[in-house]
Structure 1
Amino acid sequence: MTSQWISQLQNTIKTDQYSTSVSELYRHSHDESDHPPVEPEIVCFPESTEDVLAIMKIAREASVAITPFGIGSGLEGQAIPIKGGISLNFERMNQVVKFSPEDLLVTVQPGITRLQLNHIINRHGLQFPIDPGADATIGGMTATNASGTTAVRYGVMRDQIVDLEIVLADGTLLHTGTKAKKSSSGYHLTGLFTGSEGTLGIITEITLKLHGIPEHTIAASCTFETPHQCAEAAHMILLSGIPVQRMEFVDAYSIAKVNDYGNYGLPEKHSLFFEFAGMKSAAEEEAALAQELLTDMNCENWRIAADSEERASIWKARHEMAYAYRHQAGMTITGGDVCVPISKLPELIDYARDLISESGLEGGVLGHIGDGNFHTSIAYDAKDPKQQIAAETINEKLAYRAIELEGTCTGEHGVGLGKMKYQDAEHGAAVAIMRNMKQMLDPNNLLNPGKIFT
């Protein structure tokens, strides 16, 4: 028997804007994490802010949970509707609302992906540079405060957003900012909702800062004998003041994996990948200075990409690291996502590598070494409880060690389901303030319940 609130939804939005099919319920039951799937009771596909307001009204009156869904590329279970209810898929809210190239601003709906957005704005000599690897939606990237390979230069999502349009649980529609690039007026609500993972309000519009496309880009790579040396080299590059656009670390094990996956032919050693961008002469000088510094630190296999095709191949290989691990038949992939002060990075990378080696599991260390953020990718057999416990223990020990080093348990993937247990250790008394905010804005716990807080 169909619930009354589902019937009300079906009578409120268009027939093609909802689904209870087996395939759609399953598609919205999981993301790319290893957290158990949970199916919603119905999937809704809003096409406007007005649709979201109407759906929210029904959910509020029936006390039904709403879980936003972007493209399902999350790694911590944020999109899993663990209380059932409504999965709110934004794939049809994927339009540019307003493009102001003269102001270096664009306002978009949450369902547009970063590649779709760049396809539109690149022809104007502009780019949106945040690159988490996956072609994630801008709404999902906002909800998790995503970043990625270019964070060392451009920062994270929170640094790129000047205004959000939000639908609150009580039906209030608000804007968190203005179209000005900065403001000293009032509390920073844009920062509060960015990274809130859909637990405080539903994002329906995002206004982003844009950046010019650099005149010239150079990609380079080199290798070292140990991960520790890679981390020290990255630290030296940052201390030198070289404005790298990307600086990535990949350990030898992960290089071997991606070579096997994509036949890239990369040297199977602990590696650093760089990108230098700007005026042609400046980028060339920066690359030459980096080479000189790294050579003094005994790097090997220094190579500059010969052309744009080779440069694209380098970054394609980097982005396919995660898929190279997932390509293993019968294995489940999990991993850490820690971030620490740059000076603590060599110590933590060594610790991560030791944990994996001691566990007997296959795994690698890789990540955005330029801003102190790195990931572990660990393969285990989900049918073997001992292997699963071993994999979870690595993640747990790494997260607590990062917090001890004055870092965080998650640099960019978010809290979701997987990082809830670390919140008290990381934030202390501030967790109570966060809970109070959640209670004030969502007193009936309808917005993505069961995430961030236990």
Structure 2
Amino acid sequence: MKLDVLSFSTSTLRSSLPGPLLSFIEKVAPGRTSTQLSVLEQHGRDESGRPAVAPDLVVYPHSTEEISQIVAACNEAGTAVVPYGIGTSLEGHVAALRGGVSLDMVQMNHILEVNHEDMDCRVQAGVTHRQLNQALRSHGAFFPVDPGADATIGGMASTRASGTNAVRYGTMRDAVMGLTVVLADGRVMRTGGRSRKSSAGFDLTRLMVGSEGTLGVVTEVALRLHGVPEAITTAVCEFKAMKGAVDAVTEIIQCAIPIARMELLDEVAINAVNAYSKTTLTAAPTVFFEFHGTDLGVEEQAKLVGEIVEEHSGTGFQWAATEAERARLWSARHSAYWACVQLRPGAKIVTTDVCVPVSKLADCILGSQREARDAGILAPLVGHVGDGNFHMMLLIDPNSSDEVMKAQAMVDNMVHRAHSLGGTCTGEHGIGQGKLKYLEAEHGRVPLDVMHALKAALDPNNILNPGKLGSDPDSFAPSAPQ
């Protein structure tokens, strides 16, 4: 199957659901299935801009046991199963390329335990990160992985999500302590545990984190938590030029200042945020900083950052010390995607991300911006620049073959630029359909063959989110530098 990152029409081989299987699933989850067309289309679409590729049936399970029965029956019938969190992924992860059953985890949204003494918890896969943090407030703890959208914990684990706090607290790879996973044949596997480390056998937890629903269905997640800092301060600083902003970020990282968040928006994105969120930020390359620690520690961090920023022509430090002010600023930052959608009404927004070593970030960002200007594509930029990760949102007319081709070339060239600088085709969006074709250039053939072998061993009938990670490498569409 040849897959294209910017395909705006999709042709797939679909399978109808066998009658006995449908009857069985309806008995397992009575009153919790749907074949309504609008529901099916919703569950075949994410935020990638690709058209919906709908499943044949949507099921809303309540437990690991129900999922085990459903997956085992689908495996026996050769019917595809696609886990669905909340649909906020950006690379076509949930498209039901072979039809089949979509497992919507929205009703598996219970927080099963919180162990505040050990700073860990266990939740069902449908719990969202905002729901979890609201519940943790009374325990003096918080869960730091924040992808922006109110994603489910199961979906975040499956895509190895990241976000604004990753520079200090890490990604889902670091946060997940253990999983409950339903395998393709219906068996239930529990990985990891509550101890902070273990050297007992293969790290099956890390194998499943980031596997995007292709090796198993995540039903429960055990997470590492963190204590709420004594002091939190947020600041916004504008720069005369993008290079100055990125160079300041690089120096802050090199100085080992334990900053919690460091988010970059270019002037186009700032204009969009101002219009959408009614903020009054200066239209210039802007970095949002957040400092966590003791009162004294936060003051020291802020002073050091201020000195570095000044050296790189940063001006206009604006502080937000109260919780309400911080919330307003970060709400504006998290609304950047929706704000940028409004910049060109009727356009499709193609969002892509790459990640490079921090020392190469300026080269990658400036090269990508220059290419967007040369192509005449409106492409606001935001980035989790503390760990070298940035996103460009390409606003194009989907009916213009010229713009579609230019956007495709831009995505290809961003990836090749990142690879040439020692980076990756995606820092946090994941692979889905959109970035399969870049994997061989990034990893080489042998790792892809290993991924395919793992997929074949754990899912020999290829029912779990087929056409995605672990597919035969020969099916990937080639990608050459422009």
TM-score range, shorter chain: over 0.9
Contact 1:345 1:372 in 2 (8 A): yes
CA drift at 1:317: 1.2
Aligned residue type for 1:362: L
Contact 1:335 1:395 in 2 (8 A): no
1:332 paired to 2:327: no
Aligned residue type for 1:379: L
Contact 2:148 2:163 in 1 (8 A): yes
1:434 paired to 2:433: no
- Find the counterpart in structure 1 of residue 190 from structure 2: 175
1:363 paired to 2:379: yes
Q: How many residues align?
A: 454
Contact 2:25 2:70 in 1 (8 A): no
CA drift at 1:178: 1.7
- Find the counterpart in structure 1 of residue 441 from structure 2: 425
Q: List aligned pairs for 1:128-147, cutoff 5 A.
A: 128-147=143-162
Contact 2:17 2:56 in 1 (8 A): no
- Find the counterpart in structure 2 of residue 223 from structure 1: 238
Q: Structure 1 CA distance, aligned partners of 2:75 and 2:426?
A: 31
- Find the counterpart in structure 2 of residue 119 from structure 1: 134
1:345 paired to 2:345: no
Contact 1:5 1:62 in 2 (8 A): no
CA drift at 1:58: 1.4
- Find the counterpart in structure 2 of residue 443 from structure 1: 460
**Alpha-carbon deviations, 1:291-312, whole Å to 9, x = none?**
1121122211122125322222
TM (normalized to structure 2)?
0.92
Percentage identity across paired residues of the two chains: 42
Q: Structure 2 CA distance, aligned partners of 1:381 and 1:249?
A: 26
Q: Structure 1 CA distance, aligned partners of 2:17 and 2:423?
A: 48
CA drift at 1:225: 1.8
Residues 202 and 14 (structure 1), Cα distance of their counterparts in 2 relative to 1, 3 Å cut: closer
**Alpha-carbon deviations, 1:5-32, whole Å to 9, x = none?**
4433344223321111122112112011
Q: List aligned pairs for 1:201-240, cutoff 5 A.
A: 201-240=216-255
Aligned residue type for 1:377: M
Larger deviation: 224-233 or 416-425? 224-233
Q: Structure 2 CA distance, aligned partners of 1:338 and 1:94?
A: 31
- Find the counterpart in structure 2 of residue 76 from structure 1: 91
**Alpha-carbon deviations, 1:27-75, whole Å to 9, x = none?**
1120111122111100011100110011012101110000000001111
Match of 1:372 among 369, 380, 388: 388
Q: Structure 2 CA distance, aligned partners of 1:398 and 1:296?
A: 29
Give the secondary structure class of the aligned counterpart of 1:117.
Answer: helix
Aligned residue type for 1:4: G
Q: Structure 1 CA distance, aligned partners of 2:86 and 2:313?
A: 43
Residues 5 and 402 (structure 1), Cα distance of their counterparts in 2 relative to 1, 3 Å cut: farther
Contact 1:352 1:365 in 2 (8 A): no
Residues 148 and 2 (structure 1), Cα distance of their counterparts in 2 relative to 1, 3 Å cut: closer
Contact 1:165 1:174 in 2 (8 A): yes
Q: List aligned pairs for 1:31-430, cutoff 5 A.
A: 31-327=46-342, 328-428=344-444, 429-430=446-447
Larger deviation: 442-451 or 324-333? 324-333
> Where in structure 1 are there 5+ consecutive unaligned residues?
none
**Alpha-carbon deviations, 1:111-158, whole Å to 9, x = none?**
000011111111110000100000000000000000100000001001
Give the secondary structure class of the aligned counterpart of 2:316.
Answer: strand
CA drift at 1:89: 0.2
Q: Structure 2 CA distance, aligned partners of 1:353 and 1:11?
A: 51
Contact 1:255 1:269 in 2 (8 A): yes
1:12 paired to 2:27: yes
Contact 2:232 2:293 in 1 (8 A): yes
Q: Structure 2 CA distance, aligned partners of 1:226 and 1:292?
A: 17
Q: Structure 2 CA distance, aligned partners of 1:249 and 1:95?
A: 35
Q: Structure 2 CA distance, aligned partners of 1:418 and 1:14?
A: 33
> Where in structure 2 are there 5+ consecutive unaligned residues?
1-15, 477-482
Q: Structure 1 CA distance, aligned partners of 2:267 and 2:386?
A: 18
Contact 1:246 1:276 in 2 (8 A): yes
TM (normalized to structure 1)?
0.98
Q: Structure 1 CA distance, aligned partners of 2:159 and 2:224?
A: 18
CA drift at 1:272: 0.9
Q: Structure 2 CA distance, aligned partners of 1:231 and 1:341?
A: 12
Larger deviation: 104-113 or 23-32? 23-32
